[in-house]
């Protein structure tokens, strides 16, 4: 890995701009620990007296992507081989594999990268397992390393696991939990960033890493969920543990999930977005990873899709595994999701049993860090409580399979992703509708209707004529208008549809008209339309 050579105080005085009095070395080893470490570093925001330098220990099997994440900040990175010669005053890491030598003895703090110490993981130095997050006793006996814990119960657990932890822990808060709390008022913003509309509900699937994780046990669940849940009522997103991304690689992960992704699965990138996705979620389907605990403690309904036996007995996670309902793959998925969302199931894991200092993680951490540095905290400058950034923009669904019925003058539509293997029910007639923005050109050959949702209304007639001419198998072309859409049906003629705001969806209105005609109905002057929880009256005029 590239990076700067370590510098002495004289080097900083000669080459630097800010006159820092102290240097903090932030050590990242895995992508998981790097992400959590970045959550903690706002404690030094706004203080020119403190210089933060990064070092990446690439000896882990999960180091892929760490250097790129840090370099993309961009931040100063010290070569790992130069760390022993670096003049620093404090070392922070979110990896328990913190074993380094600095020029002079300095305090070191290990921040947890999950909820407590609840999982047995393979030991890198032997064929045995160890409890994730626990610093090696030999390193603790050196006297400089402290472990941050988020609840007194963790101190008691650590004392039983390793007597060397006694007196070497710091009670503080959990930065990820605080990001979830701070983000709660931004739920509507996060939902918009994820492309959710109206009362559309988000099912967030979370998976830890390893063969006992949800992805390891049941990788087909995601495809089945996006197939079972109508898109007007639900969207499905996945947050996979960063170790999945680093070991498997993003390309491999997307390859395995290709069918689900083409059917509308939203894949949340590992370095940013999971906090926002959880705040936006209406249901979490998880396993024994920390995100299930975050869901339970913040009140998001939870179903367990898997739960490994690698969970440490007597922990809050083990308790959650006993209490949380399980997703039964032998039963109807949609019915279970509907029930879990409506029931809510609060109280699965009380927050005060897991987090001792909600909303105070950065304040407590800053106080400890400045005491360790021997510096007063910045006067008159309270530490900020940032909320998580919105997730990156997500792709919209541009091809849908639509199943429709007409009963008592009401057109009812059930829309699913194109790739979903759905079957028409009694009295339902199905068709495919494709938005002109669809990038997979093969889907246009399957389209009974093609729509344009983002074009100027004055271009509607010309675009519709070109579309029907170019696609002989297409029966209808719908174009957006300010109050609804204009539709031309091959061999029938043109119509203008107007609808209330919640129903002004070009594809939805075009499919409603197509469904009326497919059922052999005369096109009325108005009709009622229902999809999901949206209902309204649509007026129709002959063009």
Given this model, what pLDDT does residue 44 score?
Answer: 94
Q: In the prediction, which pLDDT does 128 show?
A: 81
Are the beta carbons of 403 and 429 closer than 8 angstroms?
A: yes
pLDDT score for 124:
74
- 122 - beta bridge partners? 129
Q: Give the other-Cβ count within 10 Å of 538's Cβ.
A: 22
Model confidence over 45-103: pLDDT tens digits?
989 999 999 999 888 888 788 888 888 888 888 888 888 888 889 999 998 888 777 77
Would the CA dihedral through 321, 323, 327, 331 be positive or negative? Answer: positive
Residues 240, 350: Cα–Cα separation, whole Å: 24
Place of tokens 């699913």: 416
Would you state the torsion angle of the CA atoms of residues 242, 247, 252, 258, taken in this order, to the nearest 10 degrees? -30
Dihedral angle over CA of 235, 236, 242, 245, nearest 10: -100
Find the radius of gyration of the CA atoms of the chain.
28
SS3 530: strand
Mind spelling out the 3-state secondary structure of 403-441? EEEEECCEEEEEEEECCCCCCCCCCCEEEEEEECCCCCH
Could you give the 3-state DSSP secondary structure of residue 310? coil
Indicate if the alpha-carbon torsion angle 333, 334, 337, 338 is positive or negative. negative
pLDDT, position 13: 66
Q: Which two tokens stand for residue 418?
A: 């194109």
d(CA 405, CA 427): 6
The residue ranges of DSSP E strands in 57-127, in sequence order, are: 77-78, 90-93, 108-110, 120-122
**What is the pLDDT at residue 1?**
42
Taking only the tens of pLDDT, the chain with its 543 residues reads 445 444 554 566 677 788 888 999 999 999 999 999 999 999 999 899 999 999 998 888 887 888 888 888 888 888 888 888 888 899 999 988 887 777 778 899 999 988 988 888 887 777 788 888 888 888 888 888 999 999 999 999 998 888 998 999 999 999 999 999 999 999 999 999 998 887 899 999 999 999 999 999 999 999 999 999 999 999 999 999 999 999 999 999 999 999 999 888 999 998 889 999 999 999 999 999 999 999 999 999 999 999 999 999 999 999 999 999 999 999 999 999 999 999 887 778 999 999 999 999 999 999 999 999 999 998 876 677 778 888 777 778 899 999 999 998 899 999 999 877 777 777 889 999 999 999 889 999 999 999 999 888 889 999 999 999 999 999 999 999 999 999 999 999 999 999 999 999 999 999 999 999 999 888 899 999 999 888 999 999 998
Q: What does the block give as tokens for 494?
A: 């043109």
Per the confidence metrics, is the pTM higher than 0.95?
no
Show the DSSP H helices in 99-164 as ranges: 137-140, 152-161
Between strands 50-56 and 169-171, the pairing is unpaired
In 3D, which of 213, 485, 249, 268 has the Cα closest to residue 392? 268
Q: Give the pLDDT score at 2.
A: 46
Two structure tokens written together for 168? 């070497």
pLDDT at 11: 66
DSSP state of 326: B
353: Cα within 13 Å, side-chain hemisphere: 16
């Amino acid at each position: 890995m590239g990076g700067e050579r370590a510098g002495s105080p004289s080097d900083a005085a000669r080459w630097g701009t800010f006159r820092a009095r102290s240097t903090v070395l932030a050590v990242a080893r895995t992508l998981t620990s790097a992400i959590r470490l970045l959550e903690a570093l706002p404690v030094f925001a706004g203080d020119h007296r403190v210089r933060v330098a990064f070092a990446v220990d690439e000896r882990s099997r999960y180091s892929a992507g760490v250097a790129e994440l840090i370099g993309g900040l961009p931040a100063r990175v010290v070569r790992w081989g130069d760390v022993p010669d670096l003049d620093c005053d404090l070392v922070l890491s979110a990896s328990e594999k913190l074993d380094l030598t600095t020029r002079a003895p300095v305090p070191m703090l290990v921040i947890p990268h999950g909820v407590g110490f609840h999982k047995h993981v393979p030991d890198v130095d032997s064929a045995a397992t160890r409890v994730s997050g626990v610093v090696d006793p030999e390193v603790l006996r050196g006297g400089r390393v402290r472990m941050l814990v988020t609840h007194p119960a963790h101190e008691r657990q650590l004392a039983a696991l390793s007597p060397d932890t006694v007196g070497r822990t710091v009670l503080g808060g959990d930065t990820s939990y605080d990001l979830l709390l701070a983000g709660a008022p931004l739920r509507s913003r996060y939902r918009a960033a994820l492309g959710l509309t109206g009362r559309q509900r988000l099912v967030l699937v979370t998976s830890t890493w390893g063969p006992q994780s949800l992805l390891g046990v049941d990788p087909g669940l995601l495809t089945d969920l996006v197939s079972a849940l109508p898109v007007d009522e639900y969207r499905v997103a996945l947050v996979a543990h960063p170790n999945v991304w680093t070991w498997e690689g993003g390309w491999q992960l997307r390859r395995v999930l290709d069918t689900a992704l083409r059917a509308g699965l939203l894949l949340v990138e590992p370095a940013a977005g999971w906090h926002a996705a959880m705040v936006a979620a209406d249901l979490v389907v998880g396993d024994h990873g920390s995100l299930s605990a975050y869901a339970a403690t913040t009140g998001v309904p939870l179903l367990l899709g898997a739960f490994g036996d690698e969970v440490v007995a007597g922990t809050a996670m083990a308790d959650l595994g006993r209490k949380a309902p399980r997703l039964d793959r032998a039963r109807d998925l949609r019915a279970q999701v509907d029930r879990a969302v409506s029931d809510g199931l609060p109280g699965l894991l009380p927050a005060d049993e897991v987090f001792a200092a909600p909303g105070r993680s950065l304040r407590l951490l800053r106080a400890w860090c400045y005491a360790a540095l021997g510096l007063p905290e910045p006067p008159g400058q309270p530490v900020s409580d940032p909320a998580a950034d919105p997730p990156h923009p997500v792709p919209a669904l541009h091809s849908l399979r639509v199943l429709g019925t007409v009963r008592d003058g009401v057109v009812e539509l059930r829309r699913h992703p194109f790739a979903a293997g759905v079957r028409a029910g009694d009295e339902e007639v199905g068709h495919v509708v494709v938005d002109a923005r669809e990038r997979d050109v093969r889907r246009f050959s399957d389209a009974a209707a093609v729509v344009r949702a983002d074009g100027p209304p004055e271009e509607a007639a010309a675009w519709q004529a070109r579309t029907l001419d170019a696609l002989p198998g297409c029966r209808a072309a719908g174009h957006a208008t300010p109050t609804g859409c204009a539709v031309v049906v091959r061999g029938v003629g043109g119509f203008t549809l107007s609808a209330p705001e919640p129903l002004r969806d070009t594809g939805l209105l075009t499919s409603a008209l197509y469904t009326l005609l497919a059922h052999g109905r005369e096109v009325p002057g108005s009709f009622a339309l229902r999809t999901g929880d949206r209902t309204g009256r649509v007026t129709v005029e002959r063009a």
